[in-house]
Structure 1
Amino acid sequence: MRYAFRLAELLGHTPDRRKRPGTIKAIVEHTGLDRHQVASLLKNEAKYIPLDALSRLCDYLIDQGHATADQLPGALFAVNAENFWEQLARRSDIEIVVGVRQGEGNNSPENAMVVASDSVLVGELLNGISTLGGVAKHIGEGPESNATTSVPMPDRIQQSLVWSPGQVTLEDARARATEVFEGFTEAQGDRGMVCIGSVKSNPAVELLFSDAFGCTPFVTEDDVDDVSARSCPFFLRYRDSDPKPGAASAGMRLSKNMDAPEPGFYYEKDDGTWEYAGGQGKDTALVFYLFHEALGRLDMVLSGFSGRATRLLAKTLAIRGEEFWPPVYHEAGVQVGAFLVQYDDAESKPSRDDLLYNTGGAAKIMPLSREAIARRMARR
């Protein structure tokens, strides 16, 4: 069992100095602790903490009204997850963000809709969180279990809707997505956001990727001089017929001098070269998550390139969720999971029954390059 130190979470501290100025200085002045030690504790990087330092921090939290005496020191510690579904279930608040499209008729809520494939994925997400991927019923069984064993569960799960590109003006779609995403990032406490879909249908996905990799959202990088300058270690190439909102994580070319000839996902390898994840008779989906241990904050994207890939991803999460763990990158209190899932095309022609029964398909789960992610994290 691994523990995380929650000082930053209790203080509502983020690494952005513009948002939380003076946190380290205030703690140092009140407690007399070393500045570097405080910085390390805020980042959940400290290997140990002396009891004297722990006592001083508890006094500071009580004096400043961040916690009460009966909550400490326990409130400073949290259990880190040990599998994919537990990572979600241990969040106190989960916000699921889904793109909405406007149906035919007048612009009213009665004509707005969520795509059926996204709904299938949301349903499986809720099932996985509430049952830990089906293993919750076994917790507490066995000779080593005890009566205090409990199943982690969020206190609240909510859904937020954003406009899909092409349904309203780009400005309105981005404004709504920004409102939702900033509300999440500026909140305090243990929380998680799960964005369903790709940038084609959910602009909050672009905000999440931009925040994760430190780039400007909604600004294309198709014109970078070299593909190594791309901010994201993966890239979604639009279909020619798709809406093409400006995005750092998607577009039509990998760079000025490198084409992306086929629609679908591309990804960077260890050596810095890029590869296409699709191919003849292939479809793909993306699972991405970033967890800030010190903040207790989880950002996640579940995205199929097509409706079929989205439905198949729901099935894969249901039966093979454990294969999206461990994270491919874990440094300085930050965990990043990034996986592409490749599916073979169906042998028969698509039909409505595919949606109703979602029979599944052979899936190849591919962890993305740790080195490619580390390169991005180093230059944030």
Structure 2
Amino acid sequence: MRYAFRLAELLGHTPDRRKRPGTIKSIVEHTGLDRHQVASLLKNEAKYIPLDALSRICDYLIDHGYAPADQLPGALFAVNAENFWELLARRGEIEIVLGVRENADTASPDNATVVASDAVLFGELLNGVSTLGGAAKHHGLNDDDDSSVQQVPMPDRLQQTLVWSPGQVSLEDARTRATEVFEGFVEAQGDRGMVCIGSVKSNPVVELLFADAFGCTPFVTEDDVDDVSARSCPFFLRYRDSDPQPGGASAGLRLSKNEDAPEPGFYYEKDDGTWDYAGGKDKDTALVFYLFREALGRLDMVLSGFSGRATRLLAKTLAIRGEEFWPPVYEEDGLQIGAYLVQYDNTDSKPTREDLLFNSGGAAQIMPLSRAAIAKRIARR
């Protein structure tokens, strides 16, 4: 069992000095601890903490009203997840974001819709979080004298949030709503998670999440970079010609100024720095991405299929093979990043309505993305 030190989470501290100025200075002056030690504790990087230092930190939290004495020092520690579904279930709050589309023939919100494939994935996400992907029944039982109580981690709150899909309203309105939602999540305090369902084609919060993860400017195309190695994201969604095509760092029409992306779908960087195409004539693809900041207890996640079929198949894959999206591809300095592309073989038969209703699933190849490609971008952000 692994533990995380939650000092930054209790203080609402972020590494951005403009948002939380003077946190380290305040703790140092009150406790007399070394500045570097405090910084290490805030980042959850300390290998150990002396009891004297722990006592002083507790005094600081009590004196400044961050936590009551009867909750310390326990409130400073959290159990780290040991699998994909537990990573979600251990969050105090989870916000699930979906893109919504408006009927062009009417301005009434009664006719606005969420795509059916996204709804299928949304349902499977709720099932996985509430049952630990079906493993909750095997979770440890505590036998009391009169009853057995099942100890299963569970969020205190699940919230659904809707944002405008690109092409349904003006790009400015879609981005304004997305920014409002994402900034509200980032600025909140406490153990929390955000899960974006859909790709940047349908959910603009996805672009904001990737931009925040890899330190780039959202909604600004990188199709014109001189070399593909300069792209901010280690993966890239090439739009169909018929898709809405909002500018973004994580999606576009070209890999770089000098390198084309001839086919729609997902591209990704390999260990050797070259890029490959994850699609093909008989392939469909989905993306699973998550980033967990241990010190903040904050989880950012994207579950995205390139097509409606890939989205539905991803729901099935998460249901029966969720354990294969763990452990994270990258894990350094209190930062855990999982990034996976999932390839599905296309069927020979033409899609029917029954495919949506029954979602029979399909053979899936789960491909962890390059740790080196991710590490390179984390280092330069």
Q: TM-score range by the shorter chain?
A: over 0.9
The whole-number CA distance in structure 2 between the counterparts of 1:228 and 1:36 is 34
SS at structure 1 position matched to 2:101: strand
Root mean square deviation, CA, Å: 1.3
- Corresponding residue number in structure 1 for 2:42: 42
Q: What residue number does 2:136 align with?
A: 136
CA distance in 1, matches of 2:104, 2:208: 28
Structure 2 residue runs without a partner (length 5+): none
Cross-structure match for 1:211: 212
The answer to whether residue 83 in structure 2 is matched with residue 122 in structure 1 is no
Q: Which runs of 4+ in 1 moved over 2 A?
A: 140-143, 146-149
CA distance in 1: counterparts of 2:339 and 2:75, whole angstroms: 30
In structure 2, distance between residues paired with 1:330 and 1:149:
31
TM-score calculated relative to the size of structure 1: 0.98
Query: Per the alignment, in what secondary structure is the counterpart of residue 133 of structure 1?
Result: coil
Amino acid at match of 1:331: E
Separation in 1, partners of 2:193, 2:348: 37
Distance in 1 (CA, whole Å) between partners of 2:270 and 2:320 is 27
What CA distance in whole angstroms lies between the structure 1 residues aligned with 2:323 and 2:219? 33
CA distance in 1, matches of 2:34, 2:294: 22
CA 373–254 in structure 1, closer or farther in 2 if over 3 Å, else same: same
Amino acid at match of 2:86: E
Aligned mates of 1:184, 1:69 — CA distance in 2: 28
Write the distance in 2 (CA, Å) between the matches of 1:200 and 1:322.
28
The offset of 1:103, in angstroms, is 1.7
Asked if the contact 2:141–2:149 (Cα under 8 Å) also holds between the matched residues in 1, the reply is no
Q: Measure the CA separation in 2 of the matches of 1:240 and 1:272.
A: 27
Q: What is the CA deviation profile of residues 3-35 of structure 1, one whole-angstrom value per residue up to 9, with x for unaligned ones?
A: 000000000001111111111111111111111
Q: CA deviation at 1:105?
A: 2.5
2:6 maps to: 6
8 Å Cα contact 1:104-1:111 kept in structure 2: no
Give the direction of change, closer, same or farther, for the CA distance of 1:155–1:142 in structure 2 (3 Å limit): closer
Aligned-partner residue type, residue 342 of structure 2: V
**What secondary structure sits across from 2:96 in the alignment?**
strand
The sequence identity of aligned pairs, in percent, is: 84
Q: Are the aligned partners of 2:141 and 2:150 in contact in 1 as well (CA < 8 Å)?
A: no
Letter matched to residue 367 of structure 2? M
Match for residue 66 of structure 1?
66
Given that 1:62 and 1:68 are in contact with CA atoms closer than 8 Å, whether structure 2 keeps it comes out as: yes
Query: Does the alignment pair 1:194 with 2:195?
Result: yes
What does residue 335 of structure 2 align with? 334
1:75 matched to 2:75? The reply is yes
Q: Give the partner amino acid of 2:331.
A: H
Paired residues in the alignment total 378
Question: What is the SS of the residue equivalent to 1:114?
Answer: coil
Give the corresponding residue for 1:17: 17
Matched to 1:312, the amino acid is: L
Q: Shift of residue 104 of structure 1?
A: 4.1
Q: Distance in 2 between matches of 1:165 and 1:50?
A: 52
Matching residue of 2:315: 314
**How much has 1:108 moved relative to structure 2?**
1.3
Equivalent position of 1:252 in the other structure: 253
Q: Any stretches of 5+ residues in structure 1 without a counterpart?
A: none
Q: Which residue of 2 aligns with 1:228?
A: 229
